[in-house]
Amino acid sequence: MVSENGLLVKILTPLGAVLHEEASMVIIPGVDGEAGILPKHVSTIFRLDPGLVKVYSGDRITNTNFVFGGFAKIHQDQLYILVDKACSIDDLNHDEAQKSLLALEQELLKTRDPDLISFIDSKIRVARKVVELSKQVH
């Protein structure tokens, strides 16, 4: 049960729950920019960009996870964040992310298929975000 001034947050992947805790506020990486979710938030569905989900208890961040895009649904003080993949910000590896980004950029240069170009471009966008965030953390 969630307290009167709380919000239940769940980050769910196909492999199971990554996070399940009560929060006073959550910041999510919406496609139109970051969105702050507080208790009593109107029911809404958000499309998520790759980025950080920051979970707060009071004025302190208690959990930070990187999500690789997906959706979030807030309804009756329950926030469900549905993603293919999520990890702790501490698990981001800058060197691996940089190598992945370079490999994707080289693959993009060799590709002529428009559908494949779009797919690789979306992976590059995620890789750039991981490089940027991992540089700040480590």
Would you give per-residue pLDDT tens digits along the chain (138 residues)? 667 779 999 999 999 999 999 999 999 999 999 999 999 999 999 999 999 999 999 999 999 999 998 999 999 999 999 999 999 888 888 888 899 999 999 999 998 888 899 899 988 988 988 888 887 765
Which residues sit opposite 55 in a β-bridge? 26, 63
Cβ atoms 101, 121 nearer than 8 A? no
Pair 16, 60 in one domain: yes
pLDDT score at 84: 92
Residue 1 domain-assigned?
Answer: no
Structural domain span for residue 120 = 93-137
Residue 2 domain-assigned?
Answer: no
Pair 14, 79 in one domain: yes
pLDDT score at 39: 94
Q: How many domains does the chain have?
A: 2
Pair 70, 112 in one domain: no
pLDDT score at 76: 94
53: region left, alpha or beta (phi > 0 left; psi from -120 to 50 alpha): beta
**pTM metric for this prediction:** 0.84
Pair 11, 79 in one domain: yes
Residue 42 domain-assigned?
Answer: yes
Pair 26, 46 in one domain: yes
CA–CA dist 105, 97 (Å, integer): 12
pLDDT score at 115: 87
